[in-house]
Structure 1
């Protein structure tokens, strides 16, 4: 198969994906939160969960399930409320951050640790339940990607986006957990955690409002 025939399409997808993944949203907020309140390992596993969830969006887009979800108001609303509830839960936990809890995190590394599986699932759920990601991939596979593009090529596109997403958030995780930088952030880290919590709550409220329209 001659992949060179799809360079232009791939470049368009890569740019659209970069703009989407770099924009502040639930994925960004949870990676920042994990980097400041947990450790680099937790942040990286969370990033891996986010990257894997991209494959979920790709799969249901390839099989047309995304269109079914979008065209079924009841199902779409249910998934929207479920996503909003999870983001709201994470947001409330962030708003409850206190100065002493961040101090304990800095002193006692045991408090900052989170199991790899729980970190991974956190990232996977945040991205997997993101209805905006559903709409993004639906538009990507129905508008930008030609209907004549072979399924194998579409799968390659999906794999690229999953790896690129993980790479982006892994880079962010490493940067935020770089010891000198992290120590400075943690001096007022509970304010940053509260800000991320507020951001998640606003995103949850926005999802609910859109689902009710």
Structure 2
């Protein structure tokens, strides 16, 4: 039970810390509405499973110790964030508030893909999952329980980012943003680009 509670606490703290996932959910929720935000949250939770699977099968330790592989993950993830950030920064599409609070210009699959790729290519999540499984989970813990821990991580991510999506997709909130959309788009876009650049260069001097 100590192992379980430790993983729950670490996961909650890691999930709630600001980063690319939070910026992506905020962007999709205010710009495209609640369904888009929730699908992006689901994509993030599925992305966590990528890290869980390769960690459980031992590849995560190799990645964390390999300068080339870890750098490659950083670069690919950074490029993706910068790409999305630039798209948001130069966005010319106005918000459309309807009864569902959504904007049909972004499909459910695209929203899911945004969330999935943002998390799956996030080196922060790589380090979080690898360090949790290597430092907290006992090597003799049954494989089924380890997969259960991985599922728990995904559930925590979906609950937290689902709540974030519900907040930023509120109709009143989005109506207020309509008056300042250009500034908000540029702000969120700049944050995503800055996160991408920081991910690309973070800790490279130490590796």
TM-score, scaled relative to structure 1: 0.88
Gaps of 5+ in 1: 1-6
Q: Aligned to 1:27, what secondary structure does the other structure show? A: helix
Whether 1:123 and 2:115 are equivalent positions in the alignment is yes
Determine the structure 2 residue equivalent to 1:174: 166
- State the Cα RMSD in Å: 1.9
Q: Tell me the alpha carbon deviations over residues 120-146 of structure 1, each in whole angstroms, 9 at most, x when there is no partner.
A: 111100000001110111100000112
Give the conservation status (yes or no) of the 8 Å contact 1:45–1:116.
yes
Whether 1:77 and 2:60 are equivalent positions in the alignment is no
Determine the structure 1 residue equivalent to 2:178: 186
Shift of 1:204: 1.2
Q: Aligned to 2:202, what secondary structure does the other structure show? A: helix
- Residue of 199, 202, 207 corresponding to 1:207: 199
Q: How many residues align?
A: 203
Gaps of 5+ in 2: none
Q: Aligned to 1:102, what secondary structure does the other structure show? A: coil
Determine the structure 2 residue equivalent to 1:96: 90
Map 1:130-149; keep pairs closer than 5 Å.
Answer: 130-149=122-141
Whether 1:51 and 2:45 are equivalent positions in the alignment is yes
Shift of 1:86: 0.5
Determine the structure 1 residue equivalent to 2:145: 153
Whether 1:29 and 2:1 are equivalent positions in the alignment is no
Shift of 1:187: 2.6
TM-score, scaled relative to structure 2: 0.90
